[in-house]
Amino acid sequence: MNRALIFSAIIEDSWRESWARRASLVVSLIALALLLLFAFGVGVRPDEAQPDLIRVSLFGVELRELPISKDVFANVIEITALGLANPWGIFLGLFITIGLFSGVFARGRIDLVLSKPIARWELYLARYLGGVVLVGVTTMLFFIGTWVLLWLKVGTTDLGLIWAGVVIVFLFAVLYSFAAFLALVTEGTGAALVATIVLWGLAEFAYARAILRQLSPTLGDIADVIYYLLPKTNDLEMVTARLVGAEQFLTDIGGASSAGFAFWTSGLFAVVMLALGIYLFSRKDY
């Protein structure tokens, strides 16, 4: 059988395995429920006195007396979507996909997995991509659905929200590379998930390095090291805000780096984590 077909089959199998978990179904239902709430629960109508403005209602009850502009309404919806996807969507994505490594690579199941005519590095990478595909599809359907509903309700055609969804998927893929490596090392989900959240928190903490340096030069130096070693999670969040034109709602307390720097350094972190995971899996004696 063609190795590419085997590789894609393992990705599909990983996707199906994650999808078979009840947690995956629950996350998908939550995303669908949010879209249905927006579609049928949030009403938008032009203001009679000022046609350029709109009035917004929730299940028929107007949310405020004064009308608002379509752009403000779109920004509120887009920021809400971003806030739901990051951090909650990413956390749930890690929770439902981390078992692809803690379970299948544990003793007892690994013999069946290794019987496949494929190299260990390909197997590891395929399992990783299976998790990214599952979360990526769910995330993009949520963002595309939100964009379509905004277009139908207020005529918004800016594709920034969809591109913001792509950035969220990229951020998940970066964090998932670390979670997958630790799940392989510990052969468990709990420790790997907690460690990933701690890493995420450290990355967010280091973003305030300018403020920390004012408190203590040593603390600032430590924050600088952490910032440059770890993924640029906060910088990527600023990118998503700029994509939807809502950067005014976020405070740039650390001096965001360029988007290119945030992407390539975060991507490099993911590559290093994947390389470590592949190396360990290739050397591990089962």
What was the pLDDT predicted at 38? 95
Which structure tokens are listed for 196? 């990933």
Instruction: Say how far apart CA 55 and CA 47 lie, in whole Å.
Output: 6
Residue 163, pLDDT score: 96
Confidence of residue 215 (pLDDT cuts 50, 70, 90): confident
pTM: 0.91
Tally of domains in the chain? 1
At 66, the amino acid letter reads L
Q: Quote the Cα angle for 193-269-11, to 5°.
A: 65
Of 47 and 37, the one with more pLDDT: 37
Residue range(s) defining the domain that contains residue 15: 3-283
- Over 90: is that where the pLDDT of 44 sits? yes
Q: Of 20-29, 42-51, 229-238, 242-251, where does mean pLDDT reach its minimum?
A: 242-251
pLDDT of residue 234 exceeding 70, the answer is yes
DSSP assignment of 89-142, as one string? Answer: IHHHHHHHHTHHHHTTTSTTTHHHHHTSSS-HHHHHHHHHHHHHHHHHHHHHHH
Q: In the prediction, which pLDDT does 274 show?
A: 97
Confidence band for 250, pLDDT divided at 50, 70 and 90: low
Q: Which residues contact 209 (CB under 8 A, 6 or more apart)?
A: 220, 223, 224, 227, 254
Mean pLDDT over each residue of the chain, to the nearest integer:
86
Query: How does residue 286 score in pLDDT terms, banded at 50, 70 and 90?
Result: low
Q: In the prediction, which pLDDT does 6 show? A: 67
Do the beta carbons of residue 158 and residue 244 sit within 8 Å? Answer: yes
Residue 17 in this model has a pLDDT that exceeds 90: no
Tell whether the model's pLDDT for residue 184 goes beyond 60: yes
Tell me: pLDDT of 117 over 80. no
What confidence tens digit (pLDDT) does each residue in 53-110 have?
999 998 888 876 778 899 889 999 999 999 999 999 999 999 989 888 766 665 556 6
- Indicate the pLDDT class of residue 147, thresholds 50, 70 and 90: very high
Q: What is the pLDDT of residue 1?
A: 52
Q: What is the pLDDT of residue 4?
A: 74
Query: Counting every residue, how long is the chain?
Result: 286
